[in-house]
Amino acid sequence: MTARGTPSRFLQSVLHNGVGRYVCQLKRISLIFSKKGQGSLGVRDFIEEGVVDFAKNNSGTVVYISPQSCRIPKIVAEYLNGNVKEETVTNKTSQEIAELITKLSNQSGLDIIRIRKPFHTDSPSIQGQWHPFTNRPLSIDPVGPQAK
Amino acid sequence: MAACRALVSRAVLPLHYHHVCRGVMLTHIREKKRWMKAYTLIMERKRKMEGPPPPKPRSQQPNFDYHAEVEAFSARLQESFSLELLKTAFVNVCYLRSEEERRRALGLDLETTTLNLKDNGELCVHGQQFTKAFLSDWCRGSFPSLPQEGVAAIVGHLTGSEVMCHVARNLAVEDLTMSAEFPVPDEILQGTFFAVIGALEQSSGSVRAGLFIRDFLVTQLIVKDLFDMWKVVDPMGLLVKELTCKGIALPEPRLIRSAGASTVLPLYFVGLYSDRKLLAQGPGETVLAAEEEAARVALRKLYGFTENRRPWDYTAPHEQLQKPSAQALTSE
């Protein structure tokens, strides 16, 4: 749809992350898959090979593995700001799931919507924001065109 | 339908018939279900009548292991907490009371089932004192000319329940808090966060706890203006007091610029001159408002709390407040 019809936000970080120390924003990741279904094959392979390394490298994230009888395997990622993101991983390979999980762990939990400006600053002006009275000579008389 | 009613009145349903409620009879068939639409509409009506379900704490939802979560909390913040202190920090008095009442209501024998949990009262008090002391020292160190009321106002704002609860919720402290009610009330959450800081100080020492407070509470000052946190009723009087203490001449307000005096949005700039040199100028809709704003701008300049001041350096470990130690502290 148009930019006005879809939600948008400004570039921001949760709790000024990175100014002090960097805190990984992913707090919990749950792998929901089926033990026998063919859509969960990639998830099962990932659990055999890659999940333990991921958990060791990201010690701030809790990894939950829950085999259930489900038709579609899911990855549920919960972030520190409370957002929950669910991705279905039916028929994905183990490599793709690994990339998806690294992508989820690098995101902050903020919504993936249009970002209005790709920059943000907390101190937009050093010498003072310009206004029409800057650099004009002082006078009590009402404002008029300056004599050159 | 007549056959169904005959079946119901006999009070014995054959195998594939299932009585859901007064208007809906489920039949287990392979094709398109005739009962599905009525059933869905009844469930929708029920949901609309009851409203949304009450929020459940994360610990009561599936996939939650308390010990793992506490370890991950400690690892995520790059701090090494002692786990028993941290677990004690999350237990509140109201939780202990409600647990004991629940056990008594269930009829369990009190001697065999006493809770072995200590509550976080001491840690909370300890953490609160440490946080307030650290923040006051930090404020006085980075804004040396700010008076005592200003320091108290800034520290009060940072340790007030709004800022503390905002930080606590975004650090996942609310998930781990054990309290009687859910959603956790603000005072209890604030107390739990103080207790976590107290636990950190007792586990890793005051330097690490100071760095933690700097990284999470001092950053909340980033876009704030001084007079949002410190309510000053008479800025001109305060400015006069400050200047007399410093021995500088008293400020004289002069109208510098005016525009649109007869319109609905007039603009006046008033400058404050002490000894014929400009201290500060401020805009306003009336001359009095402009004078007050000019006094506020002058106070911000005096205290060094302007918008374009040099930002606090978060990379260096804070040696300004502690004696610089011989061992190299790793920078955060």
Is residue B325 helix, strand or coil?
Answer: coil
pLDDT score, position B272:
96
DSSP chain A: --TTTS-EE----GGGTTTS-----EEEEEEEE-SS-STTHHHHHHHHHTHHHHHHH-TTSEEEEEE---SS-EEEEEETTS-EEEEE-TT--HHHHHHHHHHHHHS-SS--SEES-S---S---SS----TTTTSPP-SSPP-PPP-
* B257 to A143: CB separation less than 8 angstroms, yes or no: yes
- Could you report the per-residue pLDDT of B309-332, keeping only the tens digit for each? 988 888 877 554 443 333 333 333
Mean pLDDT of A5-19: 94
DSSP B30-83: SS--TTHHHHHHHHHHHHHHH-SPPP--GGGSSS--HHHHHHHHHHHTT----H
pLDDT score, position B116:
83
Mean pLDDT of A118-147: 85
In contact, B323 and B262? CB cutoff 8 Å: no
pLDDT score, position B19:
82
The DSSP symbol for B221 reads G
| CA B114 – CA A94 distance, rounded (Å) | 48
pLDDT score, position B25:
80
* B215 to A143: CB separation less than 8 angstroms, yes or no: no
Is residue B283 helix, strand or coil?
Answer: strand
- Could you report the per-residue pLDDT of B201-256, keeping only the tens digit for each? 999 999 999 999 999 999 999 989 999 999 999 999 999 999 999 999 999 999 99
The DSSP symbol for B230 reads S
Q: Does A30 touch chain B (CB under 8 A)?
A: yes
* B69 to A62: CB separation less than 8 angstroms, yes or no: yes
Q: Does B258 touch chain A (CB under 8 A)?
A: yes
Indicate the length of chain B as a whole number.
332
Residue B307: which of A20, A28, A123 has the nearest Cβ? A123
pLDDT at residue A27 greater than cutoff 80? yes
Residue B63: which of A30, A136, A138 has the nearest Cβ? A30
pLDDT score, position B268:
93
Largest CA distance in chain A: 86
- Could you report the per-residue pLDDT of B63-78, keeping only the tens digit for each? 999 999 999 999 999 9
Q: Could you tell me if residue B11 is left (phi over 0), alpha (psi between -120 and 50 degrees) or otherwise beta? A: left
**Chain B contacts of A20, Cβ < 8 Å?**
214-216, 218-219, 314, 332
pLDDT score, position B175:
93
Q: Which of A1-10, B100-109, B275-284 has the lowest average pLDDT? A: B100-109
- Could you report the per-residue pLDDT of B160-197, keeping only the tens digit for each? 999 999 999 999 999 999 999 999 999 999 999 999 99
In contact, B180 and B97? CB cutoff 8 Å: yes
State the average pLDDT for chain B. Answer: 89
Instruction: Scan for tokens 């990984």, then name that residue.
Output: A24
DSSP β-ladder status, A8-9 and A114-115: parallel
pLDDT at residue A53 greater than cutoff 90? yes
Which tokens in the block code for residue B29? 């068939």
| CA B209 – CA B214 distance, rounded (Å) | 9
Is residue B318 helix, strand or coil?
Answer: coil
Alpha carbon of A140: minimum distance to chain B alpha carbons (Å): 5
pLDDT score, position B331:
37
pLDDT at residue B113 greater than cutoff 80? no
pLDDT score, position A28:
96
**Chain A contacts of B258, Cβ < 8 Å?**
140, 142-143
pLDDT at residue B85 greater than cutoff 90? yes
Mean pLDDT of A104-123: 94
The proportion of chain B whose per-residue pLDDT surpasses 90, expressed as a percent, equals: 72
Residue B332: which of A21, A62, A123 has the nearest Cβ? A21
pLDDT at residue A47 greater than cutoff 50? yes
Structure confidence at residue A145 as a pLDDT band (50, 70, 90): confident
Nearest-CA residue of chain B relative to A82?
B170
Residue B25 amino acid letter? M
* A81 to B68: CB separation less than 8 angstroms, yes or no: no
Which tokens in the block code for residue B183? 């959603």
Structure confidence at residue B7 as a pLDDT band (50, 70, 90): low
Task: Evaluate the CA torsion angle B239, B242, B245, B246 in order and state its sign.
Answer: negative
Flag whether the ipTM exceeds 0.90: yes
pLDDT score, position B322:
46
